Structure 1
Amino acid sequence: MLKVAIYGKGGIGKSTVTSNLAAAFATMGKKVIQIGCDPKADSTMNLLGGEPLRPVMNYMREEDEEPEKLEDIAKEGFGNVLCIETGGPTPGLGCAGRGIIATFQLLEDLKLFETYKPDVVLYDVLGDVVCGGFAAPIREDYAEKVLIVTSGEKMALYAADNISKAVKNFEDRSYARVFGIVLNHRNVENENEKVETFAKEHGFDIVGEIPRSDEIIRYEDQGKTVIEGNLESDISKCFYDLAEILWKDEEQV
């Protein structure tokens, strides 16, 4: 089972990368689960026709009980990708990181992985905060590989540096490792050079590049991934290339 956590600064495009990867794997015939680990709970919308999914934490808060079956908190989207959103507490109250931990425990209780038997599991994780909850996908052995999504912007690289430090803190415990950098272009000055320097300094490979594209925006306005909108496009190929790299590495393990 390929298990990947995608981290990045808020607004850097990690949800776009994650959902398009999920769609790419699905069209490659893989059984995929995507778990959004961000309080905004918008990771899976473009797999679900633009419709938001009721987050796990909302269910537990509104129903005042834990869901008894997977169907209460999950929904299949494009390519039969199983979509789940952790959500978070009421704004201003509680800790979103604890919400992720609680959700993961619930998914264990519901025997998600044993029941669904996925080929690929993708976690879309906020990277501005690296507290224990947001580090759960890497420290609790849920994910084995980490992708860091960044542009050449200063704050995106700052967040990427913090994420790399967080992952490094667990490197002696056989937890997830950084597999590589995904450069999501924002067309800032000397962007390639900045990200290449960052990658070299940290010993990472740039395993994917996503050009800035109106095509992505156009299809997201329709509630779609670019894979669903036009799987033959050059942008779709970027996501397929990344999916192939990840799957090939998994097969070699």
Structure 2
Amino acid sequence: MVKKIAIYGKGGIGKSTTVSNMAAAYDKDTFVIGCDPKADTTRTLVGKRIPTILDTMKENKSPNLDEILYQGFNNTLCVEAGGPEPGVGCAGRGVIVAMKLLDKLSAFDSNPDLVIYDVLGDVVCGGFSVPLREEYADEVYIVTSGEYMSLYAANNIAKGIRKLNGKLGGIICNCRNVKDEVEIVSEFASLISSKVISVIPRSELVQQSEYNACTVLKMFPESDQADKYRELVDTIVNNDSFSTPTPLTMDEFESFFHKYVS
């Protein structure tokens, strides 16, 4: 059975790093679909930025699958939906167009064992609900740190998941070395009826790998950081515990966060 998951989180929180390293750590057939307009999810898997579906379709309205689908590290299949220039057009349009084209070209007929959607979670646009709304993804995981805006975005994502009747599989704490970070994120997860499934430490190995357009798994395969990503993807692949999130009201969120900064 194909495992189809969507990874959501605030822009810049480390979603793409998490997704690419998860894919690199998984030894079965994996398909990564970048739904972030920055189109950088697959850079470290392929070793360069790949053309997005939107950009390709500007030149060719009916591209072939081999014009949009690239093979990355560990035989991972990679696609970038793409998006408009900042401030121009709907950022979610690329997601909608990409999914329609991938369906038309039977891109999923290869029957990958794991499909991962990397979805930006702080853009208010219907296009970003596509993986859940159209049932491309069966499970959702939220990446957050212990920072205010990251958790604020995570709470908003939880609202969207609840509205779409999505299944929340857990919270990934991508550390920024905030004081009491794991405690903060763990309490937040509990308050929204979820749990922390992984704590990814902040590591200079991530930056070094990304400078070289590589995953940590490729550049530092024997590192503790690489093992963290292996543990994460194993946890997700074997997870069968899900919840309907109970997002906090704004007052509840402020009250929760205030006690850690007072």
Compute the TM-score of the two structures, normalised by the length of structure 1.
0.91
Q: How does 1:84-99 map to 2 (within 5 A)?
A: 84-99=79-94
CA contact (8 A) 1:130 1:162 kept: no
Q: 1:150 corresponds to which residue?
A: 144
Using the TM superposition, give the Cα deviation of residue 89 of structure 1 relative to its aligned residue in structure 2, in angstroms: 2.2
Match of 1:186 among 176, 195, 212: 176
Does the 8 Å contact 1:148/1:180 carry over to 2?
A: yes
In 1, the alpha carbon distance for the partners of 2:182 and 2:142 equals 15
Partner of 1:36: 34
Match of 1:3 in 2: 4
How far did residue 42 of structure 1 move?
A: 0.6
List aligned pairs for 1:50-69, cutoff 5 A: 51-61=48-58, 63-67=59-63, 69=64
**Aligned mates of 2:127, 2:105 — CA distance in 1:** 20
SS at match of 2:8: strand
Q: 1:130 to 1:178 in 2, by over 3 A?
A: farther
- Unaligned 5+ runs, structure 2: 241-262
Amino acid at match of 1:229: M
Residue 30 of structure 2 contacts residue 112 of structure 2 at CA under 8 Å; is this kept in 1?
Answer: yes
Q: Deviations over 1:44-64 (max 9, x none)?
A: 000012x11000000112x15
Per the TM alignment, residue 191 of structure 1 is displaced from its structure 2 partner at its CA by: 1.0
- 1:220 matched to which residue of 2? 210
Task: Confirm or deny: 8 A CA contact 1:59 1:66 kept in the other structure.
Answer: no
Indicate the residue corresponding to 1:22 in structure 2.
23
Gaps of 5+ in 1: none
Opposite residue 31 of structure 1, the aligned amino acid is D
1:90 to 1:216, Cα distance in 2 relative to 1, 3 A: closer
Q: State the match for 1:101 in structure 2.
A: 96
Whether the 8 Å CA contact 1:10–1:127 is kept in 2: the answer is yes
Matched, 1:124 2:118: yes
Corresponding residue number in structure 1 for 2:130: 136
The answer to whether the 8 A contact 2:15-2:143 is kept is yes
Instruction: Quote the Cα distance in structure 1 between the aligned partners of 2:112 and 2:60.
Output: 29
Q: Secondary structure at the match of 1:20?
A: helix
Q: Deviations over 1:165-200 (max 9, x none)?
A: 0000021xxxx4110000000011221121111101
- Please give the alpha-carbon distance, in whole angstroms, between the structure 1 residues aligned to 2:120 and 2:88: 18
1:81-120 Cα offsets, whole Å, 9 max, x none, are 1110000124433212122111101100001111x21111
Q: 1:247 aligns with which of 229, 237, 253?
A: 237
2:73 is the alignment partner of 1:78: yes
SS in 2 for 1:128: coil
Q: Percent identity?
A: 48
In the aligned structure 1, how far is the partner of 2:44 from the partner of 2:206? 11
Secondary structure at 2:198 match in 1? strand
Structure-2 separation of matches of 1:183 and 1:248 = 19
Let me know the Cα RMSD of the aligned residues. 1.2
Give, in whole Å, the separation in 1 of the partners of 2:239 and 2:130.
23
Per-residue deviation, residues 127-152 of structure 1 (Å, max 9, x unmatched): 11142100111111111111100000
CA–CA separation in structure 2 for the residues paired with 1:247 and 1:12: 22
Alignment size in residue pairs = 239
Between the aligned partners of 1:85 and 1:125, the Cα distance in structure 2 is: 11
Runs of 4+ in structure 1 off by over 3 angstroms are none
